[in-house]
């Protein structure tokens, strides 16, 4: 069932029998069990599932923010921790989590300061990524002066600023309204095409997952497991109205079926 | 401008209340004097007398204001009768103590936030230190320091620091612990070092706490400096003014020294407030 590694492409993220058990006061909670995934260079992979299925946990393990208790995982052929120390990925959190005492430019600069880029390089990169997310002209605004959608775009710019090959996104548009979300989805696709990054994207929206992804990982809860991996047959070029095409609807159907099979409502 | 009316109302109420108490408290002496002389006094005579006594139980506000004016504006600032001279003596000890106390408080907070052993080992002592009455401790500090050749400014500054490090260390521990998990995780994804976490996150996020702590700290410093002046034999300083005033029953002098130190504290706290406003404005944190 799992896609085998295609000749010539190396898995950027590869997990085998990955598991994580949280020790809580009353009883251990199995957040992830026997998870196998392969994410290749340039993939746009969505992790979709009901809340509590461990999709965020999986993303945090890839980012080495959480440690698995079973199984193996490599990122760029290294342990996640080694990859993190080499700054292999940019992470976008559910909330924009911009530092309120820094301007938009200051926030985008934060990783660059930590990675000790030169001043001229910093300014160039800030300008470039703010351009990329259409936030030019807002450099000197403070986060609270921007709308929620703009804040999230700034946080994406921040994750892009140091040009890591992998972008990990944890429900970045979850708190935004439908109109803004559509718009940002379009922009994200554009960005993915122009930068060629590998993106791992957590969502609980079926249309969002189908619209964006080349590969959709459907997960179930208690314990968090991968139920199905759906390879999208949609072309890379995706105008918004592709969502009305029969192909799109068929893939969405498959995702919905996968979620329904796995999901008990007790 | 809306606040002018309530502020004047409250100030007026305090002044009126003060005058009322002056009349009531000082009238005892007036009546005593009258009965000794065997004369009757009318209410208006009592009223008049309670406002101008040499050693009133509670001096009337205008007596204090006249004394304040007299000992600041009408005296050379080098004169021992000048409140500015005494104020400066106390202020210099306050400022030195405030700097030592703030530095110590911040250093302790850094240690406590970064080190579990310090958190458990030092925090209880910090709290215990403040349960000892400073009035009991001050003479011992002065005596001990005198025996190693330190007198004058330094012992007072140390007592002042003893009072002011506490609000700063407790406030800054809270401030440094402010970052939420996501803000910490963010820096982790950049593989930030511990010192980068400190300077890029803990320090800026704790700024509002710092200024609040400094305001409490500077007021405590002033109290410490005044307390430090009491057991030294009352040579100079606002504390000395209080002490000599009470030796000689000069209540007007006591009250003017009290009001003087209150004004000094208000100025110090106000200055920190100004710096706070300026800094937080620039950081976009003052909305």
pLDDT in tens, chain B (287 residues): 678 899 999 999 999 999 999 999 999 888 888 889 888 888 888 888 889 888 899 999 999 999 999 988 888 888 888 899 999 999 999 999 999 999 999 999 999 999 999 999 999 999 999 998 888 889 898 889 989 988 888 999 999 999 999 999 999 999 999 999 999 999 999 999 999 999 999 999 999 999 999 999 999 999 999 999 887 665 789 998 898 888 888 999 999 999 999 999 999 999 999 999 999 998 888 75
CA distances for A112 relative to A24, A88, A97, A252, B116, angstroms: 37, 14, 17, 39, 31
For residues B254 and B59, give the distance between their C-alpha atoms in angstroms, rounded to a whole number: 10
Q: Locate B66 and state its tokens.
A: 């006249």
Mean pLDDT rounded to a whole number for chain A = 90
Residue B192 in contact with partner chain A when CB distance is under 8 A: yes
Residue B28 in contact with partner chain A when CB distance is under 8 A: no
Residue by residue, DSSP assigns B215-231 as HHHHHHHHHHHHHHHGG
Nearest to A142 among B182, B185, B284 (CB): B284
Residue A178: per-residue pLDDT = 87
For residues A230 and A217, give the distance between their C-alpha atoms in angstroms, rounded to a whole number: 6
For residues A150 and A143, give the distance between their C-alpha atoms in angstroms, rounded to a whole number: 9
Residue A91 in contact with partner chain B when CB distance is under 8 A: yes
- Residue-wise pLDDT for B109-150, tens only, equals 999 999 999 999 999 999 999 998 888 889 898 889 989 988
B207 contacts on A by Cβ (under 8 Å): 101
Among B190, B200, B201, B283, the residue to mutate for chain A (most A Cβ within 10 A): B190
Residue B262: per-residue pLDDT = 94
Residue A4: per-residue pLDDT = 43
Percent of chain A past pLDDT 70, that is, above it, reads 95
Taking an 8 Å cut-off on Cβ atoms, the answer to whether B191 and A90 are in contact is no
- What are residue B236's phi and psi, to 5 degrees? -155, 160
Q: Locate A163 and state its tokens.
A: 């040009």
Cβ contact B60:B51 at 8 Å: yes
Taking an 8 Å cut-off on Cβ atoms, the answer to whether B189 and A91 are in contact is yes
Angle in degrees, CA B196, B198, B203, rounded to 5:
125
* Window from A25-29, A37-41, B15-19, B251-255 with minimum mean pLDDT: A25-29
Residue B98: per-residue pLDDT = 97
Angle in degrees, CA A209, A212, A217, rounded to 5:
45
Residue B233: per-residue pLDDT = 63
Residue A7: per-residue pLDDT = 43
Alpha helix ranges (H) inside chain A: 55-62, 80-85, 104-114, 119-132, 148-160, 178-195, 206-212, 246-262
Alpha helix ranges (H) inside A78-216: 80-85, 104-114, 119-132, 148-160, 178-195, 206-212
- Residue-wise pLDDT for B223-263, tens only, equals 999 999 887 665 789 998 898 888 888 999 999 999 999 99
Check residue B215 and give left, alpha or beta (phi > 0: left; psi -120 to 50: alpha).
alpha
A20 CA: distance to closest CA in chain B (Å): 19
Burial class (CB in 10 A: 0-12, 13-18, 19+), A97: buried
Residue B273: per-residue pLDDT = 95
Mean pLDDT value across residues A218-228:
87
B175 CA: distance to closest CA in chain A (Å): 14
Residue A264: per-residue pLDDT = 56
Beta pairing class for A166-170 and A89-92:
parallel
**Closest listed residue to residue A169, CA positions, set A32, A56, A81:** A56
> Global pTM?
0.85
Residue B148: per-residue pLDDT = 92
Computed over its alpha carbons, how large is the radius of gyration of chain A? 18
- Residue-wise pLDDT for A79-104, tens only, equals 999 999 999 999 999 999 999 999 99
Across the A:B interface, residue pairs with CB atoms under 8 Å apart total 53
A252 confidence band (pLDDT: 50, 70, 90): very high
| A151 CB-side CA count, 13 A | 20
For residues B272 and B211, give the distance between their C-alpha atoms in angstroms, rounded to a whole number: 7
Residue A87 in contact with partner chain B when CB distance is under 8 A: yes
Instruction: Tell the residue number behind the tokens 């009901």, with chain if given.
Output: A50
For residues B20 and B51, give the distance between their C-alpha atoms in angstroms, rounded to a whole number: 11
Beta pairing class for A29-40 and A198-203:
unpaired
Instruction: Tell the residue number behind the tokens 């199995």, with chain if given.
Output: A30
Nearest to A110 among B185, B200, B287 (CB): B200
- Residue-wise pLDDT for A57-72, tens only, equals 999 999 999 999 999 9
Cβ contact A140:A103 at 8 Å: yes
Q: Which domains does chain A have, with CATH numbers?
A: 9-85+215-266 (3.40.50)
| Cis peptide bond prior to A223, omega within 30° of 0 | yes
């Amino acid at each position: 069932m799992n896609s085998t590694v295609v000749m010539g492409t190396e898995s950027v993220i590869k997990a085998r029998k990955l598991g994580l058990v949280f020790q809580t006061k009353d009883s251990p909670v199995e957040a992830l069990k026997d998870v196998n995934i392969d994410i290749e260079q340039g993939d746009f992979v969505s992790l979709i599932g009901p809340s509590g299925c461990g999709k965020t946990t999986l993303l945090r393990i890839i980012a080495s923010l959480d440690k698995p208790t079973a199984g193996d995982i490599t990122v760029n052929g290294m342990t996640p921790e080694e990859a993190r120390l080499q700054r292999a990925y940019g992470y976008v959190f559910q909330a924009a989590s911009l530092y309120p005492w820094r301007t938009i430019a200051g926030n985008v600069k934060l990783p660059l300061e930590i990675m000790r880029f030169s001043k001229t390089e910093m300014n160039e990169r800030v300008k470039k990524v703010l351009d990329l997310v259409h936030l030019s002209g807002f450099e000197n605004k403070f986060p609270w002066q921007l709308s929620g959608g703009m804040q999230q775009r700034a946080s994406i710019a921040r994750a892009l600023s140091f040009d890591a090959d992998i972008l990990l996104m944890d429900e970045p548009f979850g708190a935004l309204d439908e109109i803004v979300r559509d718009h940002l989805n379009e922009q994200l696709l554009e960005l993915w095409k122009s930068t060629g990054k590998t993106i791992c994207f957590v969502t609980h929206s079926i249309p969002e997952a189908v619209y964006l992804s080349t590969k959709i990982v459907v997960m179930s809860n208690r314990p968090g497991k991968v139920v199905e991996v759906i390879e999208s047959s949609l072309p890379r070029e995706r105008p918004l109205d592709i969502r009305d095409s029969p192909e799109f609807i068929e893939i969405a159907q498959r995702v919905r079926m996968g979620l329904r099979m796995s999901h008990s409502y007790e | 401008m809306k606040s002018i009316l309530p502020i004047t109302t409250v100030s007026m109420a305090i002044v009126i209340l003060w005058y009322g108490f002056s009349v009531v408290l000082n009238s005892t002496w007036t009546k005593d004097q009258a009965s000794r002389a065997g004369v009757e006094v009318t209410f208006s005579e009592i009223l008049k007398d309670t406002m101008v006594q040499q050693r009133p139980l509670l001096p009337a506000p205008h007596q204090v204001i006249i004394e304040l004016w007299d000992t600041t504006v009408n005296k050379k600032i080098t004169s021992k009768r000048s409140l500015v001279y005494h104020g400066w003596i106390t202020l210099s000890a306050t400022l030195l103590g405030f700097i030592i106390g703030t530095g110590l408080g911040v250093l302790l907070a850094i240690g406590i936030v970064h080190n579990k052993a310090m958190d458990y080992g030092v925090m209880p002592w910090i709290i215990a230190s403040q349960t000892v009455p400073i009035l009991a401790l001050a003479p011992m500090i002065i005596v001990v320091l005198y025996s190693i050749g330190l007198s004058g400014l330094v012992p007072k500054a140390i007592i002042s620091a003893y009072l002011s490090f506490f609000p700063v260390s407790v406030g800054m521990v809270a401030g440094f612990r402010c970052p939420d998990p996501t803000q910490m995780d963010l820096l982790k994804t950049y593989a930030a070092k511990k010192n980068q976490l400190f300077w890029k996150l803990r320090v800026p996020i704790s700024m509002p706490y710092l200024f609040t702590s400094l305001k409490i700290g500077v007021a405590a410093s002033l109290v410490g400096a005044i307390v430090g002046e009491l057991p030294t034999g009352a040579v100079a300083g606002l504390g000395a003014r209080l002490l000599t005033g009470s030796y000689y029953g000069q209540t007007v002098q006591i009250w003017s020294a009290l009001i003087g130190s209150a004004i000094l504290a208000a100025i110090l706290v106000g200055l920190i407030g100004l710096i706070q406003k300026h800094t937080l404005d620039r950081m976009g944190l003052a909305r």
